[in-house]
Amino acid sequence: MAKIFISTTSFAKFDSTTLEYCRKGNEVKLNPFARKLTSEELIGLAKDSEGIIAGTELYDRNVLEGLPKLKVISRCGVGLDNIDIEAASELGIKIYNTADAPTLAVAELTIGLILDLLRKISLMDRQLRKGTWQKYMGNLLEGKNIGIIGFGRIGKKVAEILFSFKTNIAYYDICPKDSSAVYVFKTMQDLLSWADIVTLHCSASAEAGEIIGKGELSHMKRGAYLINVARGSLIDEEALYMCLKDGHLAGAALDVFKKEPYRGKLTELDNVILTPHIGSYAKEARIEMERQAVENVLKGLEDIK
């Protein structure tokens, strides 16, 4: 019998099948707080666990060393930037993620945010609720230049969906793929100056840090839009605020932030859409993520026997 701790803020809310499967022959403990755990709480709750199904809580060296029995971390999600991979390797802890499961959910959210920005849907909804009947002229998505930064699973899925809108698509990636007549590779600077809409779908790392700062924002077209559903650390939020406030950018949509929950100055602006890190929050995607996370933790524990 293995001891498994599930640290995500909610698990099996929409389908209990995977949780029941995980419990067969194993001792499973759930996060009792239904929120992101502090390091101290994580160590206290998981100190005897051999496997963890992880959320976005921090797994730095101190936390990992505080979990002496831990053998497997199965991330219920894609990003691993909350895990010290080097320390985990040194401690003999296997790391898994659910790379494929959230792809469509994040891609569809991206499309929704683009359409919302172009047609100013959220802005007019907010104003109408306050008693203001004000019509704003929007723009069509068709014919727009779309720049995708990060051309992995999600970036490619976004491109695939956008292609049906008759858009012009280019991408930048640190590992360039083969260009084609459909998806053209551009350098970062060329892409920023060309695109009407820039959307981020790349991972973050301590080495990379911010990739969209004051300089990059200045290279973007006046009146362009920026979307980030990837990692909050990719954007200089202060520089973005100034570009939105002075009108250099027409709008932005952010689902991720450097510090979450977000309470910063972007909340003051009408030309920005802010969502609370919901990229994978589609029922079907969540169920699939949980299924893969359970399979991964059980496989990892079985392999070390």
Strand duo 94-96 + 272-274: pairing: unpaired
- Side-chain-facing half-sphere of 249: CA atoms under 13 Å: 29
Tell me the C-alpha distance between 301 and 94, whole Å. Answer: 9
Write out the two tokens for 204.
């973050």
Q: State the catalytic residue, choosing from 50, 75, 201, 231.
A: 231
- Cα distance between residue 48 and residue 57, in whole Å: 18
Q: Is 277 a catalytic residue?
A: yes
Positive/negative CA dihedral, 148, 152, 158, 162 = positive
Half-sphere exposure (CA, 13 Å, Cβ side) for 123?
Answer: 21
Counts for the chain of helices (H) and strands (E), in that order: 11, 12
Burial class (CB in 10 A: 0-12, 13-18, 19+), 128: exposed
Block residue for tokens 């059980």 = 298
20 is catalytic: no
Indicate which residue of 41, 210, 277, 295 is catalytic: 277
CA distance 161 to 145: 14
Count of CA atoms in the C-beta half-sphere (13 A) of 202: 25
Task: Please compute Rg for the chain using Cα positions.
Answer: 21
**Which residues contact residue 49 at a Cβ distance below 8 angstroms, ignoring those fewer than 6 apart?**
3, 4, 5, 29, 67, 69, 70
Catalytic-labelled residue, pool 27, 40, 260, 302: 260
As annotated, the active-site residues are 231, 260, 277
